[in-house]
């Protein structure tokens, strides 16, 4: 049966499908056994893409070093070496491993390369001639390991990785940089730091997760002829969120709409210690397109907050020691229940009475609720509150420390998925490549952002934007994943203008306008090779 994506996509649209190593092995096997495609044909197609993409941009053939292992990834390398040799490159293959362990296809391609007059030798770190050729090569192709690596890179293989990283030429990896775990992006002892990665059939999870974005360089996707019907039957392990994905999920803006058309949001935030958080979150909600934004804050910080609010409508609430008190519950609950989405948490503080108030509201509110920061911390030791909200829309936005306080941990994607499924919520696990998990197990990996976002207040802005899109009617996982992408893209634009050092979270809401302009602009589509995550 062809898998029809639900949360992960809509009928008829493409998506950035992310797969595990096991899924890719299964697709290859089915293409050979069910599709009748010889394995050597798949390897030849992969090599054609690898050689072409690796050599792209060079004005003329030069020197190419191809480092091959004994598996089929090494076979891709030998086959690419054949094509480069025929194109006029001076090619030398350095083989790492034991010849008797070469796969049949790798051995066939090695013989083909030698028959063409190519030069190949066992890699020897002490060989000065090999070291000089590697160091002076214009192009280095990493075909040492493929997607199946499951143990740390050691010994002579680690020396080969170090030599490739020290080479002066462009480094192109076949399918995955050697040493990088295909499913997690973890560095397995050491890994090749590629300038380009030519990946086959589908994108791999590890190209976005963990250290993947730092080691893969520019990722190019190559179609090697796996039948589309077979590929469609394989549910992706996750979806990479890109511009097209977000564009299709923006809440509609009918020309005859009014402020009620575009939703209303109530944000419960702030304390005497964290008076800026409610301003950051509410500004993001307004600039995210929400029609009406209400803001509940402790009465002692209300004057300062109200003086800086123009579009937002602040409400003073009873407090205790500068933070939200239990006496605030009736007024806050009444306002929240009139709105189409609510946010609880930014800057509330971690006092016992405040946490009790958060839990009481979370248990009582029937509508969509976003819990951020201290709204999440209030659930520590009280995870039953989430159990009680099953069947209602709940979005949580923890960073790893907050997630650990809820009992989560481990590899980000499976941990986020397990938590979201277990508690029937949408989980936004923040990090270098934020993962959003939906209650049905669908996962979304973000592709935007930078170190300039690693500053206090960025999370408040994200929480306000998620609430804004949710209030406008977006599905919770789509509101969350789209907001993460928009927030990250705004950070990229600010970083370009102001640098990661000087940009500030308070500038992010103003940068949303440039991001929305990009999303609303129709972009011509080229017919060239697909590039991803440059």
Beta-strand runs (E) in 201-340:
203-204, 218-222, 238-240, 264-268, 292-298, 313-317, 319-320, 323-324
Instruction: Judge contact between 452 and 390, C-beta under 8 A.
Output: no
Q: How far is Cα 70 from Cα 64, in angstroms, rounded to an integer?
A: 19
Rg (CA), the chain: 26
Q: For residue 192, what are the contacts with CB-CB under 8 A and spacing of at least 6?
A: 142, 144, 161, 164, 165, 171, 173, 177, 178, 179, 180, 215
pTM equals 0.92
Q: For residue 119, what are the contacts with CB-CB under 8 A and spacing of at least 6?
A: 91, 92, 93
CATH number of the 21-236 domain? 3.40.50.10260
pLDDT of residue 523: 54
Q: Taking the domains of the chain in order of start, what are their residue ranges?
A: 21-236, 244-520
Instruction: Judge contact between 365 and 391, C-beta under 8 A.
Output: no
For strands 196-200 and 323-324, give the pairing.
Answer: unpaired
Which residue has 């990283």 as its token pair?
165
Candidates 181, 236, 178, 238; CA nearest to 211 is 181
| Torsion over CA: 171, 187, 208, 28 (sign) | positive
pLDDT of residue 498: 98
- The alpha carbon of 264 is separated from its chain's Cα centroid by a whole number of angstroms, namely 29
Q: How far is Cα 66 from Cα 22, in angstroms, rounded to an integer?
A: 26
pLDDT of residue 5: 26
Q: What is the pLDDT of residues 204-258, one digit of tens each?
A: 999 999 999 999 999 999 999 999 999 999 999 999 999 999 999 999 999 999 9
Query: No. of H helices and E strands in the chain?
Result: 20, 22
| Torsion over CA: 71, 76, 81, 82 (sign) | positive
How far CA 211 is from CA of 140, 155, 341, 409, 433, in Å, comes to 21, 22, 35, 18, 10
pLDDT of residue 146: 85
- Cα angle 225, 231, 237 (rounded to 5 degrees) comes to 130
How far CA 522 is from CA of 231, 247, 507, in Å, comes to 28, 10, 26
Longest dimension (CA), the chain: 85
Q: How far is Cα 241 from Cα 533, in angstroms, rounded to an integer?
A: 10
Q: How far is Cα 422 from Cα 208, in angstroms, rounded to an integer?
A: 25
Element (H, E) at 531: strand 530-532
State which residues of the chain have pLDDT below 50: 1-13, 524-529, 531-534
pLDDT of residue 21: 96
* Burial of 195 (C-beta count, 10 Å sphere; 0-12/13-18/19+): middle
Which fold, 244-520? 3.40.1190
Instruction: Judge contact between 413 and 433, C-beta under 8 A.
Output: no
Query: What are φ and ψ of residue 180, in 5° steps?
Result: -100, 125
pLDDT of residue 96: 97
Kindly state the tokens that stand for 356.
Answer: 């009790």
Candidates 384, 432, 433; CA nearest to 406 is 384
Which residue has 């500004």 as its token pair?
283
3-state secondary structure of 525: coil
């Amino acid at each position: 049966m062809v898998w029809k994506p639900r949360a992960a996509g809509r009928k008829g649209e493409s998506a950035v499908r992310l797969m595990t190593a096991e899924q890719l092995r299964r697709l290859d096997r089915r293409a050979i056994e069910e599709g009748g495609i010889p394995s050597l044909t798949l390897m030849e197609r992969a090599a054609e893409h690898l050689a072409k993409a690796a050599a792209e941009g060079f004005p003329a053939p030069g020197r190419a070093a191809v480092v091959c292992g004994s598996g089929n990834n090494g076979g891709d390398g030998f086959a690419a070496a054949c094509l480069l040799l025929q194109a006029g490159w001076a090619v030398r293959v350095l083989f790492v491993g034991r010849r008797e362990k070469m796969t049949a296809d790798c051995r066939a391609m090695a013989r083909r390369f030698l028959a063409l007059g190519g030069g190949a030798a066992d890699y020897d770190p002490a060989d000065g001639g090999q070291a000089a050729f590697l160091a002076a090569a214009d192009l280095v192709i990493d075909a040492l390991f493929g997607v199946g690596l499951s143990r740390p890179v050691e010994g002579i293989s680690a020396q080969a990785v170090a030599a490739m990283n020290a080479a002066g030429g462009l480094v192109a990896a076949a399918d995955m940089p050697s040493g990088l775990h295909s499913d997690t992006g973890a560095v397995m002892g050491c890994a090749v730091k590629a300038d380009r990665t030519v990946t086959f059939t589908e994108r791999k999870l590890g190209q976005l997760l963990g250290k993947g974005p730092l080691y893969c360089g520019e990722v190019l996707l190559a179609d090697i002829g796996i039948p589309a019907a077979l590929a469609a039957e394989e549910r992706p392990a996750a979806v990479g969120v890109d511009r097209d994905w977000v564009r299709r999920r923006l809440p509609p803006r009918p020309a005859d709409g009014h402020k009620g058309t575009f939703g209303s949001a109530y944000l419960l935030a702030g304390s005497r210690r964290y008076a800026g958080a409610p301003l950051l979150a509410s500004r993001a909600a307004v600039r995210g397109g929400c029609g009406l934004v209400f803001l509940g804050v402790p009465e002692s910080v209300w004057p300062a907050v109200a003086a800086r609010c123009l579009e937002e409508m602040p409400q003073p609430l009873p407090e205790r020691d500068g933070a939200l008190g239990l006496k605030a519950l009736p007024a806050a609950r009444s306002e929240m229940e009139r709105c189409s989405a609510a946010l609880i948490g930014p800057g509330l503080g971690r006092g016992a009475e405040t946490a009790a108030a958060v839990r009481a509201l979370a248990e009582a509110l029937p509508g969509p609720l976003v819990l951020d920061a201290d709204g999440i911390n209030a659930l520590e030791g009280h995870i039953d509150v989430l159990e009680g909200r099953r069947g209602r829309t709940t979005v949580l936005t923890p960073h790893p420390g907050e997630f650990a306080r809820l009992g989560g941990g481990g590899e980000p994607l499976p941990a986020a998925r397990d938590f979201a499924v277990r508690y029937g919520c949408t989980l936004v696990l923040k990090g270098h490549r934020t993962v959003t998990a939906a209650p049905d197990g669908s996962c979304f990996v973000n592709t935007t952002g930078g170190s300039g976002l690693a500053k206090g207040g960025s999370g408040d802005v994200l929480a306000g934007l998620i609430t804004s899109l949710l209030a406008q009617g977006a599905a919770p996982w789509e509101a969350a994943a789209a907001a993460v992408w928009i927030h990250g893209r705004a950070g990229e634009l600010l970083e370009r203008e102001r640098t990661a050092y000087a940009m500030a979270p308070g500038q992010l809401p103003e940068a949303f306008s440039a991001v929305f302009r990009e999303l609303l602009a129709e972009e011509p589509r080229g017919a060239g090779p697909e590039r991803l995550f440059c």
